[in-house]
Structure 1
Amino acid sequence: MLQKTTLIFSIFISILFAEDKISIDDLIKTNYIEENINIEKKSLIFTKDEAKSIQEAARSKVHSKIVRYYKISNNQEVLGHAILLKQRIRTKNAAILYIVDVNNTMLGLEIVSFKEPSEYKPNDEWKKIFIGKTSEDTLIAGKDIATISGATLSARAISDAARLALAIATNRL
């Protein structure tokens, strides 16, 4: 009886704390009206000089010389790119997907993985601040990007990574 109760309790807890798993492709598709878009997974590998150049353009540190990105197209026409970056928030990493159009204008961002406590995770309304931003914008938390009460480090890390994503899109894609 105890084993059965433990099993049922374990299943209940698993269901209660299960996160909705959504694919990268589905996240990208939510930012496009087009029905038949193609998403092609690719990687960039920066040389030391390329990483330095991106870092200078973004005014933010490049944490990895290997970057995963997705080419988004509709038949033969490129619609944009999605750049997946890993960023340390406080003590743990988050994975953030930045979606840009062919003019390197931010269409949106999606937090794919967030290992910090949920109270530090920015809400959807705050993430909308980035829509329409380009590499010409400063994107600095506390200046043109609002900070989040109690989650300033999250706002800063996501803003820093947004500058990196736009610098990568502008200079390498």
Structure 2
Amino acid sequence: MRLKTVIPLALALALLCAAAVAHAGTYMTRSEALALAFGEGVEIGTVQLFMTEAELAEVAGESGIRPDSALYTFYVGKDGNRVIGYAAIEAATVRTHPETVLVALHPDGRVRFVEILAFFEPEEYLPSRRWLKQFRERSISGRLRIGDDIHGMTGATLSAQSVTRQVRKTVAILKTYLARAE
């Protein structure tokens, strides 16, 4: 093959590869995510939960995931004195790149919805909204797992596992917080 032919082909291949890598990004800011979780005009505060060693062990037992830190932040939506829900923004590494999810929860700890805020793996591994709907109205249980209540995603197993772990951990931590508040 001639050099004049090889250089344009190599350049085209490099551009194609670069386009494949420029696959991901941030889909929603924290402010937009919290507005989605609680609606407009709702007072949003934060709760800093500093878990004891016993609570960390309880969360690990409930969720199968030991939190990386004893400190955890929940956003709390209030209408006057009434709590209308909680939300957590969770980040994790899927394969080699991060994803960030919003887990919106009812006041009793059930999942309202899950939303992807940022995803830096290739787009084909991004969980679909349809797949994320499986988490709605779920609470922490042994069945909140892929293969039980949650169906896997063909071709995106690591993404599905990552989101499921994030939801399980968040729901278990909120359960710990709610038990402490009683």
TM-score (norm 2): 0.76
2:87 to 70, 82, 87: 82
Query: 2:26 and 2:100 mapped to 1: Cα distance?
Result: 15
Partners of 2:26 and 2:60 lie apart in 1 by: 34
**Equivalent pair of 1:80/1:99 in contact (CA under 8 Å):** yes
- 2:131 paired with 1:97: no
Distance in 2 between the 1:73 and 1:48 partners? 30
Give structure 2 stretches of 5+ with no counterpart. 1-18
The counterpart of 1:28, out of the listed 34, 39, 44, is: 34
**C-alpha offsets along residues 59-86 of structure 1, whole Å, 9 cap, x if unaligned?**
2232232222201111211111102222
Mapped to 2, the partners of 1:102 and 1:110 lie a distance apart of 18
Highest CA radius of gyration, 1 or 2? 2
**AA of the residue aligned to 1:47:** T
Paired residues of 2:45 and 2:75 also in contact (CA < 8 A)? yes
SS at match of 1:135: coil
Matches within 5 A, 1:98-137: 98-136=103-141
Identity among equivalent pairs (%): 25
Offset of 1:42 from its aligned partner? 3.5
Q: Deviations over 1:129-173 (max 9, x none)?
A: 101101136211122211111101111111111111111111114
Q: Which residue of 2 aligns with 1:5?
A: none
3-state SS in 1 of match to 2:112: strand
- Please state how far the C-alpha of 1:102 moved relative to its aligned partner: 0.8
Q: RMSD over aligned Cα, in angstroms?
A: 2.4
- Check the 8 A contact 2:24/2:120 in 1, yes or no: no
1:166 match = 171
Give the equivalent residue in structure 2 for 1:142: 147
User: Under a length normalisation based on structure 1, what TM-score does the superposition of the two structures give?
Assistant: 0.79
Aligned residues: 158
Is the contact made by 1:85 and 1:95 (CA closer than 8 Å) also made in structure 2?
Answer: yes
Q: Could you say what secondary structure the match of 1:51 adopts?
A: helix
SS at match of 2:138: coil
User: More displaced, 102-111 or 63-72?
Assistant: 63-72
